[in-house]
């Protein structure tokens, strides 16, 4: 265990407590239960909106699927690192728990009803959605940031997300039911911009802890598979009930299935001796869910969805193999989880597919507005991420030193690796691995 203190002793608790107390105060002022009698900001009854189903619990099973994606899916997907599992699943829980509260406020403030945010399942799904953007960005900077930095990122990112989401959905009136643009592309490019600002030259040649071990890769597969299974819920949760929702489920189900085949094929094709690479399998198999997001409730046909997924699996795998190393070496973008390949490029693909699909009349809308939505999402992400990255560099936010990156023990009490240690003791070696 390192001998230094984590320098978080007071900063982190104070920041966390102050943020939570502030949030509770804001909730006391603004947030009430939904009484089923909604009115929008202009005084019109919202009773015809999809959020006003007769039974207020109709969306609850889908909400829980999304909830599992946020907390198990993202959390365990990031446990692939050999010494960063506590932080991956633990900070994922911390950030998401705060982000959903903040997200409810930041989204709700755009849709006040007599000055109040009326919370219901629909709004809880949206709060979970806003959380997803933070977790995607977290993936880009995983292992290189302190909890305090990440809480600051959460506040800024969700605030900016709320603005862009309002612009895209309400002002531009663009379609993005599965959020290829406003969540995936936004979260990825936001995170990449932050990562660029936090560039670490000393990690140019890698870091000894920036890799997996056998069982950490299996833990990561828990995340992958739960994300994969419940993605149809993510893409359909806020679709119009009935046929549209069924269409969103169907498109996502088949896009993901096709994506698995192309991701496996390309992984084998490009890798050493034709072997499969766990990094690709853990991530690129999900690109079909990202890429079909914008089009999920459009009449593109099951085979159209499969084509999108098929292409996404290829692009994503190739990105991991060829593009990520270039981004790191040439542009100084060190993307720990490769979110550019899972959320960035597939998100843009999804946005473009949406432009084309709307232009072809697969859904009511304006191709120009779709394009504007994509541009807006990328613009807010890059500018917002760059500013956020600059803020995160402020010295008192306790960025970890290079040698402690990707290592839980800087922020966590980590148990001794008793197995090896004990065995070696029997072999009359007194090496204490944890001191190494």
Handedness of CA 112, 118, 122, 128 (dihedral sign): positive
Residue 340 makes CB contacts below 8 A (sequence gap 6+) with 140, 188, 192, 319, 323, 324, 327, 333
In the bound state with a copy of itself, the residue whose beta carbon lies nearer, of 8 and 203, is 8
Q: For 236, which DSSP code?
A: H
Distance in Å, CB of 203 to a copy of itself, minimum:
18
Distance in Å, CB of 22 to a copy of itself, minimum:
11
Residue 14 makes CB contacts below 8 A (sequence gap 6+) with none
Q: Are 396 and 11 spatial neighbours (Cβ–Cβ below 8 Å)?
A: yes
Per the DSSP assignment, residues forming a β-bridge with 116 are 113
In the bound state with a copy of itself, the residue whose beta carbon lies nearer, of 94 and 359, is 94
Per the DSSP assignment, residues forming a β-bridge with 45 are 39
Distance in Å, CB of 402 to a copy of itself, minimum:
19
In the bound state with a copy of itself, the residue whose beta carbon lies nearer, of 189 and 234, is 234
Distance in Å, CB of 328 to a copy of itself, minimum:
19
Chain Cα centroid distance, residue 376: 19
**Could you please report the per-residue DSSP string of 116-172?**
BEEE-HHHHHHHHHHHHHHHHHHHHHTTSS-HHHHHHHHHHHHHHHHHHHHIIIIIS
In the bound state with a copy of itself, the residue whose beta carbon lies nearer, of 209 and 366, is 209
Distance in Å, CB of 376 to a copy of itself, minimum:
29
Distance in Å, CB of 63 to a copy of itself, minimum:
9
Distance (Å, whole) CA 90 – CA 93: 5
In the bound state with a copy of itself, the residue whose beta carbon lies nearer, of 280 and 340, is 280
Q: What distance, in Å, lies between the first and last C-alpha atoms of the chain?
A: 8
In the bound state with a copy of itself, the residue whose beta carbon lies nearer, of 189 and 231, is 231
In the bound state with a copy of itself, the residue whose beta carbon lies nearer, of 173 and 277, is 277
- Mapped onto helix, strand or coil, the DSSP state of residue 47 is coil
Q: Are 74 and 135 spatial neighbours (Cβ–Cβ below 8 Å)?
A: yes
In the bound state with a copy of itself, the residue whose beta carbon lies nearer, of 175 and 255, is 255
Distance in Å, CB of 375 to a copy of itself, minimum:
30
The encoded tokens of residue 313 equal 């699996």
The encoded tokens of residue 282 equal 């853990």
Distance in Å, CB of 163 to a copy of itself, minimum:
23
């Amino acid at each position: 265990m390192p001998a230094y203190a984590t320098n978080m002793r007071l900063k982190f608790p104070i920041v966390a407590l102050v943020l939570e107390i502030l949030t509770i105060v804001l909730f006391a002022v603004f947030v009430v239960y939904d009484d089923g009698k909604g009115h929008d900001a202009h005084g019109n009854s919202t009773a015809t909106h999809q959020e006003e189903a007769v039974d207020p619990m109709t969306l609850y099973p889908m909400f829980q699927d999304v909830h599992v994606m946020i907390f198990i899916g993202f959390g365990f997907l990031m446990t692939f690192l050999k010494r960063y599992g506590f932080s991956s699943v633990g900070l994922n829980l911390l950030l998401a728990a705060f982000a959903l509260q903040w997200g409810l406020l930041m989204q709700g403030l755009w849709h006040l009803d007599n000055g109040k945010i009326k919370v219901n399942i629909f709004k809880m799904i949206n709060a979970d959605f806003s959380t997803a953007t933070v977790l995607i960005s977290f993936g880009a900077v995983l292992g290189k940031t302190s909890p305090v930095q990440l809480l600051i990122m959460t506040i800024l990112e969700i605030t900016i997300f709320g603005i862009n989401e309002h612009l895209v959905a309400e002002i531009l009136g663009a379609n993005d039911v599965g959020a290829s643009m406003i969540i995936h592309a936004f979260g990825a490019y936001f995170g990449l911009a932050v990562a660029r600002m936090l560039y670490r030259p000393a990690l140019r040649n890698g870091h000894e802890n920036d890799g997996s071990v056998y069982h950490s890769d299996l833990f990561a597969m828990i995340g992958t598979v739960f994300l994969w299974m419940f993605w149809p819920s993510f893409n359909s949760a806020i679709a119009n009930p009935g046929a549209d929702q069924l269409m969103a489920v169907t498109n996502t189900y088949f896009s993901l299935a096709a994506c698995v085949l192309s991701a496996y094929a390309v992984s084998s094709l490009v890798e050493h001796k034709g072997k499969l690479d766990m990094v690709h399998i853990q991530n690129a198999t999900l690109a079909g869910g990202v890429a079909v997001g914008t089009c999920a409730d459009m009449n593109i046909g099951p085979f159209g969805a499969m084509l999108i997924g098929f292409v996404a699996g290829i692009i994503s795998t190739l990105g991991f193999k060829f593009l990520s190393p270039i981004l790191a070496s040439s542009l100084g973008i060190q993307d720990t989880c490769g979110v550019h390949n899972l959320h960035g490029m597939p998100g843009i693909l999804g946005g473009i597919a949406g432009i084309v699909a709307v232009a072809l009349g697969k859904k009511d809308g304006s191709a120009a507005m779709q394009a504007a939505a994509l541009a807006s999402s990328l613009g807010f992400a890059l500018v917002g991420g760059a500013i956020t990255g600059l803020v995160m560099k402020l010295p008192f936010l306790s960025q970890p030193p290079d040698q402690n990156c990707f290592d839980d023990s800087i922020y966590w009490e980590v148990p001794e690796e008793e197995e090896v240690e004990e065995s070696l003791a029997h072999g009359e070696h007194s090496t204490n691995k944890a001191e190494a």
